[in-house]
A and B are shown apart, each in its own frame.
Chain A
């Protein structure tokens, strides 16, 4: 197995490292730790966090890419010492894990849980005659001898998933309760009662309840997906459930990497403009007003068109389709970052203008501390909360923006799984009669859940970090 690190993978790992670093930094600083404690104490925040962590888990699994080795050459082959060959296809751990979903392609559309294809075909009967009917699916419900047993089979399978989910949940819950009891020196039953009545400091009841829901849903969906196409198949017969899951990574990457890309510019320029004032401020203000004046969709469109032309002319530079799509995703993050750093920059400039008049900054300057030391030691730590709030608030907007951009063909590569691409292709399917609705429904469901959780989480974070708003809502 040969690991492959795509550009966005590397940046996601960097982001992860930064997040861990920030967590360590925050845990040692009370003014950063206190708001996070408030976030953790909020029931809504905890519920949203559980949902988000499931998404993040799938996204991360989908970020570990590798190439499988090809089968070993025969033992007596000419040169056994030759280096091992690898399959050209780049897979992710998630692809590998969800292999059954990925590989079981039907011929074309099939409805959720269907056992038969959605369109009629000429079928040759055993006796040689040909009838036009809906053929059985190759994979969906193949294990059923009689398609009429489907209802009971689905029920039974779902029940098995439910039991498994509850079992896993029970183990985790027991582990959590046990460690809580250990730490506080209480009996297990006492801790259980506290959690049950919602008397714990952190809303463990909500967290564990959310976990139960997600685990049960996950296991039921997983068990059923092994036997059926639970969200149907698309035009080329690919499993829609798999596509929706694959799209999670795209959405997360766009939502997080974009901010990562814009962050250095926005923070540096913003606090510099506010701190130095004078011509530095003028130049930076001019820069962001100019960029702001250009309608962002057009700027993105222009940039993506450039990239397409470049890729078409230099096709030999890109080894595989995956790399190409990945580069386009990265480029999209870059250009989205370019259009979205201005808002944060303006906020930070205003805050830095205020902070530079603060006594401790003035005192530092009077003692002869250098400008950049002041910026790094006093101004930057004091604007971190604004940065954080903006990052969390922007996330859901970016996920939604991806869908719109992909719809007008200036988003991610058409070969890449994304909710925008799913919606885009589903649009024409709505005009069919009878309607093919499941791709659209799947994209809606997965996107809505992520954006809703992100919005709720963002609200909690903003309330916790922005002292002005505390208690206002």
Chain B
């Protein structure tokens, strides 16, 4: 098993190099530091001196890939590519265009993101699975049909409307919770409850439908028939046997998103003013702060690969038939 994990981790290296090269090309070759400087300085006609000044301040005055002026190893290390891209591998994200330490910002901002993402995941999972089992219990009746129609309708609503509707109902009409904002410590719950509700409700449509198909597929298998023939009640069949056996695909779907929870949701966080990584990224996009966007791309890729690895490991834990080698 450890050999397998090690090999998978090694396999991740070329992927991360690929991601890194791609972002480097996107952010530095297609969009040269000169243009970045011009955009940050904001003026259409900025002087050449101002541009070179800005580049020097932010460390973009080096050559892109190869430095002839330096000596020895510095020929390779004293370049934008090394300073800005290779260092990402050591999780040294450098500083953003307005001079803040990105690594520190990320470590601060991942907690609010987690505070929303984890409850949304857990509560959503519980609600989706129980609703799906409920619908499967009444399969092939009008209740089932009506539920599916309702689910498709819920799926067809854009996530933006769930947020806007939730804010309007809960905050503006009934004044139950603040519209947006965040607080540190235990007081944060007031600000968190609405985003969590919205996140859960917004996910019910597609979630329940997906679990319903999963359970229906399981229900038609032979062992279920055997369990019924044995005289077990339908409830017992569903909750014991079907749910237990459907856990594998459910777990697969869940485990793969676990690492990505750190990244938070762009839309939810920016709508509710939560200072998490999602709103961090959105702000960076709208400020055209490429250093932050680049760091987040890299972080996202690392977490994605981690998720894939965790999925494989979780298989062995859930299903003894799977053996990794």
- The residues of A with any CB-CB pair to B shorter than 8 Å are 286, 289-290, 292-295, 297-299, 301-303, 305-306, 309, 313, 396, 400, 403-404, 407-410, 419, 423, 427, 430, 440, 444, 447-448, 451-452, 455-456, 459, 472-473
Known contacts A286-B14, A309-B39: does B152 contact A456 (CB below 8 Å)?
yes
Contact B19 A290 (CB under 8 A): yes
Contact B285 A404 (CB under 8 A): no
CA separation between A418 and B296, bound complex, in Å? 28
Contacts of B19 in A (CB 8 A): 290, 293-294
CA separation between A410 and B284, bound complex, in Å? 12
Known contacts A302-B27, A448-B157: does B282 contact A408 (CB below 8 Å)?
yes
CA separation between A294 and B296, bound complex, in Å? 9
* Interface-side segment among B64-72, B73-81, B96-104, B212-220: B212-220
Contacts of A447 in B (CB 8 A): 158
Contacts of A408 in B (CB 8 A): 266-267, 270, 282, 285-286
Known contacts A294-B297, A309-B39, A472-B217: does B18 contact A286 (CB below 8 Å)?
yes
Between A and B, 6 residue pairs with Cβ closer than 8 Å are A290-B15, A293-B16, A293-B301, A400-B158, A448-B153, A455-B152
B157-175, CB under 8 A of A: which get 1 and which 0?
1111100100110001000
Contact A301 B158 (CB under 8 A): no
Given contacts A289-B15, A409-B286, A448-B156, 6 further A-B contacts (CB under 8 A): A298-B300, A302-B290, A309-B39, A400-B159, A408-B285, A423-B160
CA separation between A403 and B156, bound complex, in Å? 12
CA separation between A452 and B154, bound complex, in Å? 9
Contacts of B153 in A (CB 8 A): 448, 452
Counting contact residues on chain B (CB < 8 A from A), the size range is 35 or more
B14-33, CB under 8 A of A: which get 1 and which 0?
11101100110011001100
- The residues of B with any CB-CB pair to A shorter than 8 Å are 14-16, 18-19, 22-23, 26-27, 30-31, 35, 39, 148, 152-153, 155-161, 164, 167-168, 172, 213, 216-217, 220, 263, 266-267, 270, 281-282, 285-286, 288, 290, 293, 296-297, 300-301, 304-305
The A interface is mostly helix, strand or loop, or mixed, namely helix
In the complex, the chain B residue whose C-beta lies closest to that of A287 is B18
Contact A472 B216 (CB under 8 A): yes
The 7 A-B pairs at the shortest CB distance, nearest first, are namely A290-B18, A295-B300, A293-B301, A451-B156, A452-B156, A301-B285, A293-B304
Contact of B158 among A298, A306, A404, A430 (CB under 8 A): A404
